[in-house]
Amino acid sequence: MIEYIHERYTLSRALTRPTKANEHHTDAQRINFILMPVDSERQVALESETRMVYVVSTETEVVYVGEAYTDLKTRMSRGFVPRRHYARTGHARGGYKGYKWIDLIEPEDANSLTVDAFMFGADFNDADYRCVIEGVEGDLVHIIRANDGKWPAYQNEIHFSNQEGAYATAEAIYETIKNFENE
**Per-residue model confidence (pLDDT) at position 172:** 97
Taking only the tens place, the pLDDT of each residue in 42-66 is 688 888 888 999 999 988 899 999 9
Taking only the tens place, the pLDDT of each residue in 84-95 is 788 778 889 888
Q: Are 48 and 39 in contact (CB under 8 A)?
A: no
Domain count within the chain: 1
3-state secondary structure of 35: strand
**Per-residue model confidence (pLDDT) at position 176:** 94
pTM for the full predicted model: 0.85
Per the structure, the complete domain to which residue 134 belongs is given by 4-181
What does the pLDDT average to over 4-18? 79
| Nearest partner of 174 among 139, 149, 129, judged by Cα | 139
Q: How far apart are CA 136 and CA 65, in angstroms?
A: 10
